[in-house]
Amino acid sequence: MSGRPEIVCLCGSTRFAEEFRAVNLALTLAGVIVLAPGVFAHASDPITDEQKAALAALHLAKIDLADRVVVVNPGGYLGDSTRREIRYAHHRGKPVEYTHPPVPAHAA
């Protein structure tokens, strides 16, 4: 162990900006380095399709830096982008936790 604080990457739909803020605050106050989306397009941050693709790639790089992933998913919601990030995290050997039990894709 390097003695550095744990690094956690937050994933989930950017429509949950307030929930992201709350989880970020709680983890930060617990001494965790938090990596999270920097743009919340669903919460009125306008972005182009090109920017969205670049941000998706940047978020995968954040997952690479993290020790674990926490999925912010009120009501169990998991969108396609979040599911892709979860698959990527698993492929990279990152533990994945959820703020709420996930709803199966076929039930959403």
The residues spanned by each domain of the chain are: 16-107
pLDDT of residue 103: 86
- Under the banding of pLDDT at 50, 70 and 90, the label for residue 70 is very high
Q: For 2-48, how does the pLDDT look when each residue is reduced to its tens digit (9 = 90+)?
A: 699 999 999 999 999 999 999 999 999 999 999 999 888 765 667 88
- Exposure b/e, 11-50, CB count within 10 A at least 16 = b: bbbbebbebbeebbeebeeeebebbbbeebbeeeeeeeee
Q: Is the pLDDT of residue 108 over 60?
A: no
Phi, psi of 95 (to 5 degrees): -65, 140
